[in-house]
């Protein structure tokens, strides 16, 4: 996960950057799903626009991400490979009369997903990933990072709701930039499909590192709009539930399969 240090940001503002970085896993919702892309097919997922706003006392942090892409293709019926890139990131930190602004290309990501269990009521996958530092404009931390995600999906109330959850254990650069530490991230979403073209969902996530970064918890709601068999849009708004989380994070996502 990309966690750049804008000079000596407060831990709260530095943690807010995680919301932008996690959008490189562009999809409907932040919660990863165990479904894989079939061989010979491609899926393009992108955050067309993601905005993070975080304010506390005299400090204000804003970040904008655009063109945060993930391209996936299948290697087998239950195995795919994914390549991601953050095409544009702009960050602005203000504290009193001090302002630090950075804009540039973000980092690259390589991921692979293996769906190892599937039944009538649940499916589970494992997804290791790595971040390759490639940023410009000093918007990244210039460190190789990575981790493992375990997403699962199930149905409740006789199929009335689809529940997706995931656990992400990642190894990130620490706040002092002198080593690595472990970050634990959990998210879960509940989705209700109303028509062929419209689904609504609610999503909750929480993250905590072993030392440097405090608990961060957010709650979001969104609408998934299916335009055609190939194209869909996802509109979401996330709100921080504690002072360590970003205040607001609206996201516009697009998914195109071919």
CA angle, 239 then 130 then 210, to 5°: 55
DSSP 252: E
- C-alpha distances in angstroms, 152 versus 52, 147, 162? 27, 17, 11
What pLDDT, in 10s, does the model give residues 14-67? 343 443 444 333 345 789 999 999 999 999 999 999 999 999 888 999 999 998
The CA distance from 144 to 134, in Å, is 10
Start-to-end CA span in the chain (Å): 28
pTM: 0.88
- The predicted structure's pLDDT at residue 10: 36
For the structural domain made of 11-257, what CATH number should be given? 2.40.160.40
Tokens 């390549």 belong to 83
Q: Confidence band (pLDDT; 50, 70, 90) for 96?
A: confident
What pLDDT, in 10s, does the model give residues 125-167? 999 999 999 999 989 889 999 999 999 999 998 889 999 999 9
Helix ranges restricted to H, the chain? 11-21
Task: Delimit the domains of the chain by residue range.
Answer: 11-257
Rounded to 5 degrees, φ, ψ at 11 are -60, -35
- Beta pairing class for 59-76 and 98-104: unpaired
Tell which residue, 146, 65, 87, 68, has the closest CA to residue 112: 146
In the numeric block, which tokens belong to residue 218? 């957010």
Helix (H, G, I), strand (E, B) or coil at 43: strand
pLDDT > 90: percent of the chain: 74
Q: What is the mean pLDDT of the chain?
A: 87
Sign of CA dihedral 10, 2, 38, 34: negative
The CA distance from 191 to 31, in Å, is 11
- The predicted structure's pLDDT at residue 249: 94
- The predicted structure's pLDDT at residue 243: 86
- Beta pairing class for 248-257 and 198-209: unpaired
Rounded to 5 degrees, φ, ψ at 22 are -70, -15
Q: In the predicted model, what is the mean pLDDT of residues 228-243?
A: 95
């Amino acid at each position: 996960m990309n966690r750049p240090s804008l000079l000596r940001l407060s831990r709260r503002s530095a943690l807010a950057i995680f919301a932008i970085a996690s959008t490189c896993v562009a999809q409907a919702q932040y919660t990863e799903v165990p479904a894989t892309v079939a061989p010979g097919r491609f899926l393009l997922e992108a955050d067309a626009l993601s905005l993070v706003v975080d304010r506390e006392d005299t400090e204000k942090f804003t970040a904008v991400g655009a063109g945060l892409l993930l391209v996936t293709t299948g290697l087998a019926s239950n195995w795919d490979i994914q390549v991601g890139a953050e095409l544009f990131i702009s960050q602005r930190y203000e504290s009193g009369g001090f302002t630090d602004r950075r804009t540039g290309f973000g980092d690259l990501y390589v991921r692979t997903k293996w769906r190892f269990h599937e039944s009538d009521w649940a499916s589970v996958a494992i997804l290791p990933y790595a971040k390759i530092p490639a940023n410009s404009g000093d918007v990244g931390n210039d460190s190789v990072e990575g981790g493992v995600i375990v997403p699962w999906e199930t149905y409740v109330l006789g199929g009335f709701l689809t529940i997706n959850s995931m656990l992400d254990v990642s190894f990130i650069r620490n706040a002092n930039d002198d080593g690595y530490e472990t970050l634990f991230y959990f998210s879960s979403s509940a989705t209700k499909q109303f028509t062929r073209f419209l689904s609504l969902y609610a999503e909750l996530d929480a993250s905590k590192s072993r030392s440097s970064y405090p608990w961060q918890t957010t709650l979001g709601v969104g609408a998934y709009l299916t335009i055609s068999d190939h194209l869909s849009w996802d509109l979401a708004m996330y709100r921080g539930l504690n002072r360590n989380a970003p205040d607001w994070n609206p996201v516009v996502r697009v998914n195109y399969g071919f």
